[in-house]
Amino acid sequence: MLSKKNILVLAAHPDDETLGCGATIARLSDEGHNIQLLTFTDGVSSRDTDGNRNDVLGKVKNILGLSSYSYGDFPDNKMDSVPLLDVCKFIEENVKVKPDIIFTHHKDCLNIDHQIIYRATVTSFRPQTGDNVKILSYYVPSSTDYNPVNNFLGNVHYNVVDYKDIKLKCLKECYDEEMREYPHTRSYENVENLMKVWGSEVGLKYAEKFELIREVLWRFYF
């Protein structure tokens, strides 16, 4: 029986969490873990100001199985204009329980907000005596891949064969306006194809892939 873990998902914008690790969130929720989502921007897309993406987070919570969510009002695609200390304070004030595992953006994402959230993550959760939090970076189609020199290693794979359809359902019902026609990298076809490719790398039908940023092992388990 797996022990219950506290999982923290950090996402610059509502939709990043689903694109980056939606199937893994659904799996971890199904396993009984406590999952908090924290998003940062005001939810107003720089491409479309007709609606607020934070309005759909309640629906995302129900589909993916989040335990809770919180969101900020930092300016969309302008987080480089915000002092890093303010972003770190927002994390400190809104994280409800000490996390065991953190999912966050990759440092090489092209989107500037993603870069800031990565920096805020490793700053806010600097190693302290007694801490053993695991930090994993996720891949966001049309951001991580758009940096031609990104170094996303992808050395951790989560089997999501039973949860990939939940990820696609969440994108369709909550973020359809953010999706594009194939062969755009942020298309339904490509999102599913990525899970297939990542799964095939390790002998699985579908997987989501992450880069391990830090893990402290206090003892080995055999």
CA distance 99 to 134: 9
> The whole model's pTM is what?
0.95
Give dist(CA 173, CA 115) in Å, integer: 27
User: What's the average model confidence in pLDDT over 170-193?
Assistant: 97
Distance CA 77, CA 113 (A): 6
Q: How far apart are CA 199 and CA 40, in angstroms?
A: 30
**What values do phi and psi take at 85, rounded to 5?**
-60, -40
CB 92 within 8 A of CB 128: no
- Ranges of each domain in the chain: 6-214
Could you report the per-residue pLDDT of 118-133, keeping only the tens digit for each? 999 999 999 988 888 9
Q: What is the CATH number of domain 6-214?
A: 3.40.50.10320
Q: Please state, in angstroms and rounded to a whole number, the distance separating the CA atoms of residues 8 and 184.
A: 29
Query: What CA–CA distance (Å, rounded) separates 184 from 113?
Result: 21
Q: What percent of the chain has pLDDT over 70?
A: 92
pLDDT at 3 exceeding the cut of 50:
yes
What phi, psi does 9 have (nearest 5°)? Answer: -110, 120
Position 51 scores a pLDDT of 60
Q: Dump pLDDT digits (tens) for 40-55.
A: 998 765 554 456 767 7
- Does 2 score more than 60 pLDDT? yes
